[in-house]
């Protein structure tokens, strides 16, 4: 089976982790600090705070912003649930606008309609879905016009750029995930990036039990720190990120050429100024579920990102967050299918994937 995602780990990562194990210093230390510094420099932020996961990075950011009951955050319904759960966990509430049909990212026009009528919204939380940047120019304008914070969930967007600027540090703050399926990994792990030093200080306290030094707790907090093994892996993976993304983009170009001729399939649309890092190569296709079954039988792994909008999740409906008419999201959830695009693919596997998709539709015309 060709996996839809696979972490690319080599001797360098293994050696880096073994050095940590041999040292006996396993909790966050010098390697995590160096990883933070290097990552901030790569993204173009003055501060980077390493965390135990992308989810805890999101949660730490929301608490650092001081969100609470009565506050609302505008975001997308077409993402993994951690995005909006981080808002709920503060006592604030997510507000969903629909997505653009071609990019699957948050729609700026619908976002402005909501911002114009809801003064309780404190922030816009964007998701650069699949590695495709949102239209940052439009959202920077909206954030300034309505005086709200602009935040970026770049969990899938390592190496992505908008107008030649790395995503993640274009708003007040952003987060990344280093889960094994991402463009780079630390096993589990996350990062908050910002150039707001006051916000960074609050987040650093929050992920360390609210303590600037041991047993001196100045605010509410938890242990959301990254391990030293994660920091060591991150240092190696960060140096390989540019190469990883370049390979993903080469694979995506191959699929664009091979699958773009199939009438029943829409390949990813890339707007001007957007540099896609292809954490996922996601098709919009007819007879999606049948195609997925066919690919599984042919030995090709796939993923559906995502099979329902957040407003359709049972828990959210119980909370009264399901009263939305988000038709584009609901249609997309029935048509999207992610196919393998990771750097571990070889030419034979790329050909096999494209042939399997082509043969499915040829047999049904």
| 347 assigned to some structural domain | yes
| 6 assigned to some structural domain | no
Helices 54-64, 197-206: inter-axial angle, 10-degree rounding: 120
DSSP letter for 208, please: B
Task: Kindly tell me if the per-residue pLDDT of 213 is higher than 90.
Answer: no
Task: Give the predicted TM-score (pTM) of the model.
Answer: 0.97
Do 302 and 174 belong together in one domain? no
Least confidently predicted of 13-27, 83-97, 184-198, 268-282: 13-27
Do 279 and 229 belong together in one domain? no
| 1 assigned to some structural domain | no
For residue 68, the domain's CATH number is 3.40.640.10
Do 274 and 187 belong together in one domain? no
| 217 assigned to some structural domain | yes
| 51 assigned to some structural domain | yes
Mean pLDDT of 305-314: 97
Do 21 and 148 belong together in one domain? yes
**What is the three-class DSSP state of 210?**
coil
Domain that holds residue 161: 11-237
Region at 326 (left for phi over 0; alpha for psi -120 to 50; beta for the rest): beta
pLDDT band at 364 (very low <50, low <70, confident <90, very high): confident
Do 206 and 144 belong together in one domain? yes
DSSP letter for 292, please: H
* Total number of domains in the chain: 2
Long-range contacts of residues 16-22, Cβ cutoff 8 Å, at least 24 apart: 16/232, 16/233, 16/235, 16/236, 17/229, 17/232, 17/233, 19/232, 20/228, 20/229, 20/232, 21/229
Q: What is the rounded distance in angstroms from the CA atom of residue 2 to the CA atom of residue 232?
A: 29
pLDDT band at 136 (very low <50, low <70, confident <90, very high): very high
pLDDT at 214: 87
Mean pLDDT of 343-354: 98
From 195, 214, 237, the end of a domain falls on: 237
Do 134 and 200 belong together in one domain? yes
Mean pLDDT of 44-70: 97
From 220, 237, 254, the end of a domain falls on: 237
Do 224 and 311 belong together in one domain? no
Do 135 and 229 belong together in one domain? yes
Do 76 and 179 belong together in one domain? yes
- Give the tens place of pLDDT for each residue, 257-288: 999 999 999 999 999 999 999 999 999 999 99
From 171, 204, 237, the end of a domain falls on: 237
Do 149 and 123 touch, CB atoms closer than 8 A? yes
Do 107 and 228 belong together in one domain? yes
Do 58 and 181 belong together in one domain? yes
pLDDT band at 27 (very low <50, low <70, confident <90, very high): confident
For residue 311, the domain's CATH number is 3.90.1150.10
Q: What is the rounded distance in angstroms from the CA atom of residue 36 to the CA atom of residue 101?
A: 36
Q: What is the rounded distance in angstroms from the CA atom of residue 131 to the CA atom of residue 191?
A: 16
| 47 assigned to some structural domain | yes
Backbone angles phi, psi at 85, to 5 degrees: -60, -35
């Amino acid at each position: 089976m060709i996996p839809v995602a696979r972490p690319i780990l080599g001797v360098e990562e293994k050696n880096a982790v073994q050095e940590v194990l041999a040292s006996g210093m396993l909790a966050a230390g010098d390697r995590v600090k160096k990883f933070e510094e290097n990552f901030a420099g790569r993204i173009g932020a003055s501060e980077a705070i390493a965390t135990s996961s992308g989810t805890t990075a999101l949660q730490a950011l929301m608490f650092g912003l001081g969100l609470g009951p009565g506050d609302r955050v505008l975001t997308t319904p077409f993402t993994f649930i951690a995005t909006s759960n981080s808002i709920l966990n503060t006592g604030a509430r997510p507000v969903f606008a629909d997505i653009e049909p071609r990019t699957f990212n948050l729609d700026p026009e619908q976002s402005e309609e909501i911002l114009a009528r809801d003064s309780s919204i404190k922030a816009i939380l964007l998701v650069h879905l699949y590695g495709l940047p949102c239209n940052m120019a439009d959202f920077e304008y909206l954030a300034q016009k309505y005086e709200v914070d602009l935040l970026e969930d770049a969990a899938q967007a390592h190496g992505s750029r908008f107008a030649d600027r790395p995503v993640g540090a274009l708003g007040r703050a952003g987060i990344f995930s280093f889960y094994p399926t991402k463009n780079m990994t630390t096993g589990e792990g996350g990062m908050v990036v910002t150039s707001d030093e006051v916000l960074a200080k609050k987040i650093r306290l929050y992920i360390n039990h609210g303590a600037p030094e041991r047993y001196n707790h100045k605010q509410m907090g938890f242990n959301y720190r990254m391990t030293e093994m994660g920091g060591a892996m991150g240092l190696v993976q960060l140096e390989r990120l540019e190469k990883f993304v370049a390979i993903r983009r080469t694979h995506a170009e191959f699929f664009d050429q091979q699958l773009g001729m199939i009438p029943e399939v829409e390949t990813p649309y890339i707007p001007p100024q957007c540099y896609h890092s292809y954490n996922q190569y996601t098709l919009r296709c007819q007879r999606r579920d049948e195609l997925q079954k066919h690919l599984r039988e042919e030995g090709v792994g796939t993923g559906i990102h995502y099979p329902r909008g957040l407003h359709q999740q049972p828990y959210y409906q119980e909370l009264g967050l399901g009263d939305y008419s988000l038709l584009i999201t609901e249609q997309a959830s029935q048509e999207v299918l992610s196919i393998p695009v990771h750097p571990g693919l070889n030419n034979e596997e790329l050909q096999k994937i494209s042939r399997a998709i082509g043969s499915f539709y040829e047999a049904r015309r």
